[in-house]
A and B are shown apart, each in its own frame.
Chain A
Amino acid sequence: MTRHDVPTVVTVHRDASGRDAAGELAPGTFLAPRPLLPAADGLHIALVGTTAGLLAGDDLRIRITVGPGSRLHVVEPAGLVAYDHRGGTSAWRAEVEVAEGGELTWESRPFVVSSGASVTRAMDVTLAPGARMLWRDTLVLGRSGERGGRMRATTRAVHDGRELLVEDLDLTDPDVRELPGILGPHRVVGAVTALGADPGGPPHPSRMDLAGPGAQVRLLDTHAPAVERELTGIWESWRAAYDADRTTATAPGAVP
């Protein structure tokens, strides 16, 4: 019987010559990690879908480990759709670990929750001191014309042994999520989240500066394209800020 929960594993470390090298690149049930063209700013990996999903019973798992001082950039060429589960459930779970001075950027594509789907998404991030992560994600409730299925998206980021951001976006019950103050009429929730370092950049009306090092811009809308356009601008601005900061931090004599 085919297993439905084989994790996709990506590990990267800094080798003796100072380059970011892939350790393990193991395909999982749903996603295969494909290295992209070599670049000076770290290892670039695309997570390419290999099996249609998500369907009832699916358990999509991703494990990403970034070694000390190493840089990894993850992109997803296509979004993900959770289809009608016909009474079943599915899960998407990512475990991210970034060691001291390491950096992960993860640019997700929209995660669409069709009517009839019932899916949990868990993002667990552990950052060592000096480690940081930039994450972009968008949840879309329902395909065109649908009210959308059940989704519960949790994020737990621990930095230097302390909780930095804990969120539980419980969108399982449409009657509750559509209440004023939760989502109201919106069905698209997109965010760019910086963890482990202040991303700098210009002010934004939706920017939340965390109590610890990090920030999040979360956008709500009734349609996805406007959210995606705006998130792209924020993503580019924050990535540029991280890069500029990196250049300063790794200058001779500077403490990373």
Chain B
Amino acid sequence: MGALAPLLFADGRLPVGAYTYSAGLEPAVAAGLTRDRIPALLRARLHTTAVTEAATAVLALRAGGQDPVDYGPVQRALEARTPAAPLRAASTTLGRGVHRLARRLAPDHPAVRALATAQPRPLRPVALGALGAALSVGEEELAYAVVYDELQTLTSAALKLLPGDPLDSVAWILAAEPDAADAVAAALAVRTPDGIPARTAPLTEQWALDHERSERRLFLA
């Protein structure tokens, strides 16, 4: 597909509904997180959930290149690593947006067609892997896109939730580079669904449960 596809993946303006997602920031702020701790939260996510998501996307990308395409094992592996139901639900909602885009771009690609039969509905990293397969995005490009998107999502949400200098966001993201590189390397090293890292972030899960019960929220999760 050339040079544009990997850029599209990392673009927050991609119409896949990502603006509804704060990558855990809103629940964290509700629990008392302050602006100065945003870099620490980025680091926490790069050590835990971002690795799991990037690895899942890479395995889904590989599955999308097989014949026949079967996302079942990778989808189930991610579910077993996502015990909090609200986080699975948010991922499903976001996956739907990616699926819609994939259908528009490559409706007949086997990697995209297989999404329609995935049961339950594809989680976001699985849909991203499928879209990546349809657009011939490389594994490392995809893993970096997932990780980068996580950082951008969280820092963009910070502009609404903990307003401050937008230039800070850029500096935070670049400062997270070493942890981001480690997350990508860990994701690329995974060979089978049972090898997908499952680094648990207990407070993130608790906050997601609290967020679901909250009546005042801007973001899905």
Question: Do chains A and B stick together as partners?
Answer: yes
How far apart sit A179 and B80, CA to CA, in the bound complex (Å)? Answer: 24
Residues of B within 8 A of A98 (CB): none
Q: Check B41 for interface membership: any CB of A closer than 8 A.
A: yes
Q: Check A133 for interface membership: any CB of B closer than 8 A.
A: no
How far apart sit A154 and B84, CA to CA, in the bound complex (Å)? Answer: 17
**Of B80, B82, B209, which contacts A207 at CB under 8 A?**
B209
How far apart sit A167 and B203, CA to CA, in the bound complex (Å)? Answer: 14
A163 near B76 with CB under 8 A, answer yes
Q: Check B181 for interface membership: any CB of A closer than 8 A.
A: no
A residues 164-209 in Cβ contact with B at 8 Å: 164-170, 176, 179-184, 186, 189, 205-209
A183 near B202 with CB under 8 A, answer yes
Q: Which of A34-42, A56-64, A212-220 is found at the contact surface with chain B?
A: A212-220
| Given A179-B43, A210-B83, A184:B213 Cβ within 8 A | no
B41 near A180 with CB under 8 A, answer yes
Q: Check A211 for interface membership: any CB of B closer than 8 A.
A: yes
| Given A181-B41, A181-B44, A181-B45, A166:B198 Cβ within 8 A | yes
- Shortest beta-carbon distance, A163 to chain B, in Å? 4
Residues of A within 8 A of B45 (CB): 181
Residue of A nearest to B207 (CB): A181
Residues of A within 8 A of B79 (CB): 211-212
Q: Check A162 for interface membership: any CB of B closer than 8 A.
A: yes
| Majority SS at the chain B contact face | helix
B53-90 CB mask vs A (1 if < 8 Å, else 0) is: 00000000000000000000000110111111100100
Residues of B within 8 A of A170 (CB): 47, 199-200
**Of B88, B198, B210, which contacts A168 at CB under 8 A?**
B198
B residues 76-107 in Cβ contact with A at 8 Å: 76-77, 79-85, 88
Residues of A within 8 A of B198 (CB): 154, 166-168
Residues of A within 8 A of B141 (CB): none
Q: Check B125 for interface membership: any CB of A closer than 8 A.
A: no
A176 near B206 with CB under 8 A, answer no
B200 near A167 with CB under 8 A, answer yes
How far apart sit A211 and B213, CA to CA, in the bound complex (Å)? Answer: 19
A189, A207, A218, most chain B CB atoms within 10 A: A218
A182 near B44 with CB under 8 A, answer yes
**Of A179, A205, A207, A218, which contacts B47 at CB under 8 A?**
A179
Residue of A nearest to B120 (CB): A211
**Of B28, B77, B84, B197, which contacts A181 at CB under 8 A?**
B28
| 13 interchain pairs, CB-CB under 8 A | A167-B198, A176-B43, A179-B41, A180-B44, A182-B202, A182-B204, A183-B202, A206-B206, A208-B84, A210-B83, A211-B79, A220-B202, A220-B206
Given pairs A165-B80, A180-B44, A182-B201, 8 additional interface contacts (CB within 8 A): A166-B196, A176-B47, A180-B41, A181-B41, A182-B48, A206-B206, A210-B83, A212-B80
